[in-house]
Amino acid sequence: MSTTGVRPQQSAAAPPPIPRGAEPAPAKSSGYGLPCAKCKLYYPAGLDTCPTCHHRERVSPVVTTPPRKSAEKLPDPVPDSTIIEQEREEFLRQFKSKLIEVHSEVVNAPGSLCALTEHHDGSEASAEICEACYQRLQERLQAFEAAFQIDLKDAAQIIYDAVWADPSDPSKTYENAAMALLTELRRRAGVPDPFQPLAD
């Protein structure tokens, strides 16, 4: 191989030779800096532009927002006493009118009038007893009326039997006869005899 004095050229991509003793310092990590103002990405502090959107401005990571003003609670307005009094009077007036209206409906209701108009002199009267109680009293009255419809022969026989049932004491003859007749009338009317013990 001949040397012609021409040195082979070094490729342009090859780094320049490093002199001995002058070794490059290891690259220090600069850490992350402020976020990008546009896309809010944190990127290393050593870079001048954002690697994502290539924006050059950075913003502070803590955005200071002005303190919100709390809505001041206004005190409730004190209502005028005359207006309150007028509203109160109006309410009471309406309430009383409704109460009177309901009461008149109850009093004048058709169910509270007497149904037996044949016994009246043409005017209507209010019913003060219900129909069921009236029917029960009517049945009792009919039983009493039937008891007083005793036949004369039956009454004479009751008196005769009572007089001759105990002839030992002639002073009690009339008393025994009256007692026997009253007992028979009570029995027919369905009234318990006050001198007889009640059945258990």
Range with the poorest average pLDDT among 11-20, 38-47, 93-102: 11-20
User: How many Cβ atoms are within 10 Å of 170's Cβ, its own excluded?
Assistant: 9
Domain locations along the chain = 31-62, 93-128, 130-189
Residue 40's pLDDT is 84
HEC secondary structure over 81-130: HHHHHHHHHHHHHHHHHHHHHHHHHHHCCHHHECCCHHHCCCCCCECCCC
φ and ψ of 35, to 5 deg = -75, 160
Q: Does the global pTM surpass 0.75?
A: no
Where does the pLDDT of residue 199 fall: very low under 50, low under 70, confident under 90, or very high at 90 and above? Answer: low
Amino acid at 155: A
Residue 15's pLDDT is 59
Distance between CA atoms of residues 79 and 148, nearest Å? 78
Residue 182's pLDDT is 83
Distance between CA atoms of residues 89 and 81, nearest Å? 12
